[in-house]
Structure 1
Amino acid sequence: MSEATHARAATGRRTTRVSLDGLRKHFDNAPAPAIAHLDLQTEEGEFISLLGPSGCGKTTTLRCVAGFEFPDEGRVRLNDEDITDLPPEKRDIGMVFQNYALFPHLTVWRNLAFGLEMRGIGKAECRRRIDDVLAMVQLTALAERYPRQLSGGQQQRVALARALVIEPRLLLLDEPLANLDAVLREDMRVFIRELQKRVGITTLYVTHDQSEAMVMSDRVAVMLGGKLLQFDVPEAIYMRPRSVEVARFIGRSNLIEGSVEGLTDEPGPYPTYRVSTALGSVPASHDQPLATGQPVHVTIRPEAIRFRNDGPYAGRVQSAYFLGSTVEHTVQCAGGQGLLVQTSPGRRLDAGAQAAFAFDPGHAWIISAAP
């Protein structure tokens, strides 16, 4: 049996859309809602990351989908079925927790069998499903070991297998990599994503790690203060943030205040405007019409800026820090504007050096103020 066949056998290839409509949750004595108002719809088979800092509402959202919390307002739907008021065991959802929650006194095989037996699945079907999913997560040889005899990565794969073996219509993952070391965490990102692609199961993944969200997701939901700030593909979240809050939260970013001078005729996938800033007149892109004189922010990622002798902008390097594959420079420019500039180690400039620099209009994005 091929790996893809194993995957289909272990999950039934059921496709599910998740709809969160007007979700709101306020805990007693809390100063603000954990979820203020959330609308989010997935496509079938998508891997969606709920990304944000601690306290932003992402785990509460996941628990409302799982049935461990019930929203004060709004509805949770899987396809066209309203599951808002169903208990967890009636939702047909698989979940992987941060601490994996494996039964320490049961072997790997028995950990997987527990959920199936609770659902009244017969012995022959139990064995088929368990054998298939163990092969899928590459743990067949460890079926008779106990959790204490496994590494962190192996325990994590057992938790994934236990969630998949019940053939759920939706998979929920609550920061499952948080307890792994950096190297193993990177390996498991790839493993989980490739497994999800093969299985084809719709997945909601909670994380505060931006790299995880960018690497693993079809789309990312950036949350802050119980609100959904932006829901888009990873490239758009990073390169075309919709708010100053998203630009500041995602990666490292330069935010430059300015006002729109006018539209240019420069070619590109989006219209390019000239923006008056402390640096001077800056070309930047946006996908909506902007009025002359409109106040805006321009965001430029540090790696998009290049030191160049004939560059149109200039400043003095305040500091330079070696980060391994890059060097991060702090540059003080005219008008008091500070910038971060990342280069390869071979392009490093020392503190005190005068620096001219440039960037492409396509790497400068305008964030317009809310109307």
Structure 2
Amino acid sequence: MDLLIDYPSERYFILPNESGECTLREGSVVVNNVSEGEVIDHPQMPDVGHLSHDNKLQAVLLMMKKYPIESEMKLSYFVSSIKSLPEELIDTEFDDSFKKMLISLPEELPKFETLQLELVANPTNVPTNLIDLLFWMLVGLRNPRFIKIPEEHMEDLLSCFTDSSLCPDPIFAFKVCSDPPVQLTKSQILKKHFGYIGCNNGDVFSLLYYWKRSGTKRCFNDQLIHALKHSKGDYCWSKSPFGSVYKTVLVIEYYPHPDLMFVGDKPSPQLSLSLRIPSYEAPCFFHIGSADLVEISYVFIYKNTLFREIIVDYSMEVLDFGTNLFFCMIFICILARTIRNLVHL
């Protein structure tokens, strides 16, 4: 079967099952914490069958040729980054097959150009496990789909932000939803403590940025205005600096990806977006190269004077959108992360 196809802009996420075999499926996440490495969420393309060594080699070379910058970045940073991951994160966030992959990682990969030339000129000299690793990194890890937080876990999570014993009631609380319900009345929505925003990540950041700039009730689009009118709180506030009056918490979902790189215990001002993971003894910061790698699920806005230390208070700067927006962010890991970690911060 010829794998040298013109890959669409739609990316792939591939993980081998327990036997080390990979299947290629479109728009899906293949995970190993279920028996058989079954596909979770989103439709799949027909099974391409078992991939041979040559199939994987051709696919790797195609990725190197078609996406040289992305490929070089992954080869340059992925190994060192993944080796730096805290042991607790590896134990809780990755399955056994991924751990085996980590163990087999070399300490250092050859330079991109050297490796590319070697794969073309002397492919038989390249170890099979290295081909498998390159295939997994370059072909498999391409803008993975999100696995949503189960509803029963989300209920517990939301209680952390709406329980008056932990923090004050938010003045606004939105669920980011591409298809918000239009029939609910405001009283019905308030029973759930949040309204709905039918928009994407960019619109959410634009909303926060505009509030930061203007300090008024003016919003980015009609959907956000509707969300404000149908959410908790007074649809008006003063023109005080946004960061000094309000604290914003974003609930973010993500899936492990090489572009989510562990950067240590301090964020760097050069990073486009740094997120703090609050569940470890020492602060852990990850670099997110693009906001497309995360999905905002909920937005909570609190009065700063009522905001308690139970919610992690750390200012982050978003540079991707050309703003100087600072906001407080909670980074929620969606795999094997329990609410207990948040409650006992």
Q: TM-score, normalised by structure 1?
A: 0.21
Larger-gyration structure (1/2): 1
Q: TM-score, normalised by structure 2?
A: 0.23
Higher helix share: 2
Higher strand share: 1
